[in-house]
Copies of this chain bind each other. A is one copy, B any other.
Amino acid sequence: MRVSQLFTKTSKSAPADEVSQNAQLLIRAGFIHKEMAGVYDYLPLGKAVLNNIIQIIREEIDGIGGSEISLTALQQKDAWEASGRWSDDVIDVWFKTKLASGSELGLAPTHEEPLTNLMKNFIHSYKDLPAYPYQFQIKFRNELRSKSGLMRGREFWMKDLYSFSRNQAQHDAFYEKITDVYLHIYDRLGLGSSTYKTFASGGSFAKYSHEFQTVSPVGEDTIYVHEGKKLAINEEVFNDDVLADLGIDRSELVEKKAVEVGNIFTLGTKFSDALDLNFTDEDGTSKKVFMGSYGIGPSRLMGLIAEHFADEKGLVWPVNVAPAKVYLVRIGNEAAVAHADELYEELQAKGITVLYDDRDVRPGEKFADAELIGVPYRVTVSDRLIESGEYEYTERVNGETKLLTREQLLAKLS
């Protein structure tokens, strides 16, 4: 994309009421716009990052048999009354509204109830199990306070996957598999080395649930990390009982700040009991479907990645997530224009995404924008360099700059 055609602009300041570092940076760099606390619009660069995150998650979930669907935000109360979660005392983040006819509706903060209801149309026999529907959907949560930018939104993107299994054994096999898939997702997002499977409190059907926590100075959760076993314990269940369970000594653990970037739950028959989701097993008996739920928040991940990797000059995107791979800076007149135009076309033809700064502004402004926007590789074409047949190549992550021939440049970027 040409920067001249991008309608957004960078800015030296964020709104005065914006206290979170991720939102401040993303607003200044033109990725998002703030509608109100916890409610952000995605502008072209931000939409590109969000799409990249979503596509990585989609590929991984499709790879283990997920079926993508899209459930509605508007919810009637019946199913939620059946599960006991319609009351604002039980789910305290409901947004409620009304149909023109007067019936009360809610805006879904999660989707266990409507999906369990829906699956009653399709699950009758053990042959219909397992099933793994999932979606990327906008969730609404009426948080009293929302001061963490994209990391705790009132309207935000969630990947929610649900498993419907014949019994605990079929469930457990999937639960193990999804753990590996989640770790692979964080790897691809650039967070792998600092993300830990973390033991957290369970429910009626499992002693533990599991979170995925990324160790970060910007974290709000406290976890206890076992580096050797690459796992952690959330402080909410950090006690002798749990340590004994896991065969870990307190001295092997290090307390760290972390951000929750995903969670997986064994729901058991909680919702199939409440909503009567049954199937006939091979032996002819009627049984309740055994369920699990698996969340990852793409918008929260975008906020975390923004804040976690940022430096004093601005954003620093991992390459798989970046809105473009290359920021192409053009300095000079006709020769530089022709040369940069041609390189832009060639890189795009090779499938390399480029943000091409074709504006007539000072070089310093282009360099500052390149750093604030945080694209991984900056390439500069200038009148002076054309003469020597070279390109200036700079890595955003460490600022290292080299002069490369065209052949070297293309090898680096491919």
Give the B-binding residues of A (Cβ under 8 A): 5-9, 11, 30, 33, 35-36, 39-44, 47, 50, 65, 67-76, 93, 95-101, 105, 107, 114, 118-119, 121-123, 128, 131-133, 138, 140, 142-144, 154-155, 164
Q: How many copies does the complex hold?
A: 2
Q: Are B154 and A74 in contact (CB under 8 A)?
A: yes
Q: Kindly list chain B residues whose C-beta atoms are within 8 Å of the C-beta of A41.
A: 69-72, 114, 118
Once A7-B131, A67-B6, A97-B95 are accepted as A-B contacts, the answer to whether A73 and B42 lie under 8 Å apart by CB is: no
Q: Kindly list chain B residues whose C-beta atoms are within 8 Å of the C-beta of A75.
A: 35
Closest to A157 in B: B70
Q: Are A101 and B144 in contact (CB under 8 A)?
A: yes
Q: Are B121 and A65 in contact (CB under 8 A)?
A: no
Give Cα A136–Cα B174 distance, bound, in whole angstroms. Answer: 33
Q: Are B74 and A47 in contact (CB under 8 A)?
A: no
Q: Are B47 and A100 in contact (CB under 8 A)?
A: no
- Majority SS of interface residues in chain A? mixed
12 examples of A-B residue contacts, CB within 8 angstroms: A5-B67, A7-B119, A7-B132, A8-B122, A33-B118, A41-B70, A42-B69, A42-B70, A47-B69, A73-B140, A95-B97, A100-B143
Give Cα A70–Cα B67 distance, bound, in whole angstroms. Answer: 24
Distance in Å: Cβ of A118 to nearest Cβ of chain B: 5
Q: Kindly list chain B residues whose C-beta atoms are within 8 Å of the C-beta of A93.
A: 100
Q: Are A97 and B96 in contact (CB under 8 A)?
A: yes
Q: Are B69 and A44 in contact (CB under 8 A)?
A: yes
